Chain A
Amino acid sequence: MCYYYGRKVTRDEYNRLKEVEKKIAHLDEHLAIFKGFDYNDLPVLRLNPTTGEKERVEMEWGYLPSWIKTKEEATRFRNGYKSEKTGKWVKGYTTLNFVSEQVQERMFKESLGTRCLVPFDIFYEWMHVQVVGKSGKLLKTPEKFPYLIEMVEPGEHYFAGLYTRFTNTFTFATTVANSLMMQIHNSKERMPTILPGDLHQEWLSPDLSVDDIMDLCNYQTATAQMKATPLDKDFLKKENPHERTIYTEAPALVY
């Protein structure tokens, strides 16, 4: 016999409750939909800088380079600001993800040595479809159709990420879209770099050369390993946004 919450329960029941405890540890992550521009703290996997052991830690999504020292600087960096010198608007940077091919040319270069895995089970992307207005001309704003994208193999999967210890922020790599993502994310024709199981350890390995990093950053998951489900346009406003309601007006995808 065992005790749980001061009550005598059978060993089977005790084990069941302990199992539920484990599952609940990641419940918030499962139920939440994280929007990039909210700059949430999210879990990432990395090697502990001191012990070298793999660990799960929380960091802010939206990379801030090491020269950003204050909250005000972070806001200016992300949202842009009016230059005191010229009076002109200086555009902000979007660093939720980065273009793998350019990683050596941009600010992310300083974090090539601090790599992480960003866990996900599903993600969303919007297809842009040009609409002809009443005048017969194409409208400036395309119609947007959201899709839920997941891997055929169920479970937790990982984006290839970079982080910096200076600001405790991270970003993840994008690569050229495969044929499925090319149809959905047709405005940018990019997709996240999703590393398969045998490359997780390699991505975290401290011994990678720049060429190795570039190769892994550009890894493209095959269409056959992914599937996409069209969602209602207002799915984010639903009580349960994870509910899968097939939206028949969404353009059909070719696999």
Chain B
Amino acid sequence: MDTPTITDQFEVTWKEKQYPCKRLLMGDSIIFMIGFTQRPLCLSKSIDVNRESFWVSIPHDTKLTHVVLELGKQIDQHYNNQ
């Protein structure tokens, strides 16, 4: 199994609270792990058949769609602002 390497760490905001977000390199995939207290949330950027990118939670959980959209946007902003 690939051992994850933390390649970046910053903060994201959810419901007015700050949470650590770690960028992990696992093999050839990049995952963002949000340090929610009870259980970390893992996000990854995927691409659909029309070559449009979108954020997904892994494992897939449709109940988290709004969280994924919001946090994915913040991650994009973090890198766009650099």
Contacts and interface: CB of A to CB of B under 8 A. Distances in A.
A234 interface: no
Contacts, number: 75
A26 interface: yes
Contacts of A20: 26, 29, 31, 44, 58
A9 interface: yes
A13 B46 contact: yes
B76 to A, nearest CB: 17
A24 B57 CA distance: 11
B6 A242 contact: yes
A23 B27 contact: yes
Residue of B6, B44, B48, B54 ringed by the most chain A CB atoms within 10 A: B48
A7 B46 contact: yes
A4 B56 contact: yes
Nearest to A7: B48
Contact of A1 (B9, B22, B49): B49
B3 interface: yes
Given A16-B29, A27-B33, A240-B9, A4 B42 contact: no
B45 to A, nearest CB: 11
Interface of A: 1, 4-10, 13, 16-17, 19-21, 23-24, 26-28, 30-31, 121, 154-156, 239-240, 242-243
Interface of B: 1-4, 6, 9, 22, 24, 26-27, 29, 31, 33, 40, 42, 44, 46-49, 54, 56-60, 62
